[in-house]
Amino acid sequence: MYGTLATFGIFFEPVLTEFGWSRAMTAGAFSLVIIIRGSLYVVTGRLTDKYGPRIVVTTCGFLLGMGYLLMSQISSLWHFYLLYALIGVGMGSAWIPQVSTVARWFEKRRGLATGMAASGEGAGILIMVPVGRWLISIYDWRSSYIAVGIIAAVLITGAAQFLKRDPHQMGLLPYGEQEVKKGDLNLQATGLSPREAMHTREFWLLCIVYFGFLLCLGTIMAHIALHAIGLGISTTSAANILAIIGGMSVIGRLAMGVFADRVGSKPAIIICFILLTIAMLWLQFATAGWMLYLFAGIFGFTFGGLVIQFPLITAERFG
């Protein structure tokens, strides 16, 4: 899911060239995806609790694939926005069903397990961005959207058929459940309901922190490739910047997942935000290819580390 979404950065330039829209108008579609996706997280979370991840991810994966397939037929700006709204609906199942399912399967080493599962996001970006760039260079952006749509529909709906809500469906216990219960007999008593959590200061602080992170993430993923092209860097090298972000995010997820298991999510978040600040400041002075590659490496690692820390620290603080 995230691999296909990251291709927005490489479709940006050819779509902009063909239709002559402003950069702000075109990038607004990506913002729409983020808004719709975030708004649907509560809905897809509830549906996952009720029906399980298989049905939710299958449905959203189909809608996501259809959105990309139909993108090959657009002829006006409202078509562009309408179909990216559909893609946003499909992306509504791109996070919550997965991390909640991992949480049900793992009591022990949950940080590492979440990092390994979430590394699919970075791997998807690492693979799909160069593939998308290659498709556009050989065919055209419309045909490439068809290919991306087929890949999304087949891979997502196919993989979703193997998802199980929790190990109890298979007569198993979550990994490490017995050890966790022995270590903390009051574990279940520490949990808060959503309503109770929303009345805490820490809940709203986490919302503010997450908002700041996603503001940086959305801006970079939508604009970094076109920004690099504007600096005179080739389209292939610009696509490689996105690929590096994806690849380094895999390392960040795994490394910071292990780190969080050992020392907790709060120190991990602090370290990641220090690195994020350094990366964003460095970007202000990056004008050469190697400088943008260095930015991509630091930003990608930070992106991967932060993505998995928020569900972990939420589980730690609110149960």
The CATH number given to 2-318 is: 1.20.1250.20
Are the C-beta atoms of residues 240 and 112 closer than 8 Å to each other? no
d(CA 228, CA 19): 21
CB atoms within 10 A of CB 138: 9
Per-residue tens of pLDDT for the chain, all 319 residues: 999 999 998 999 899 999 999 988 998 999 899 899 988 988 998 899 889 999 999 999 999 999 999 999 999 999 999 999 999 999 999 888 888 888 888 888 877 888 788 888 888 988 999 999 999 999 999 999 999 999 999 999 999 999 988 888 788 888 887 665 555 544 444 567 778 888 888 889 888 988 888 889 888 988 898 899 999 999 889 889 999 999 999 899 888 888 887 887 888 889 999 999 999 999 999 999 999 999 999 999 998 888 878 777 777 777 6
| pLDDT of res. 89 | 95
Q: Nearest Cα to 227, choosing from 280, 278, 274?
A: 280
d(CA 130, CA 145): 14
Q: Nearest Cα to 302, choosing from 213, 203, 188?
A: 213
| Phi, psi of 191, deg, nearest 5 | -75, 150
The residue with tokens 């979703």 is 160
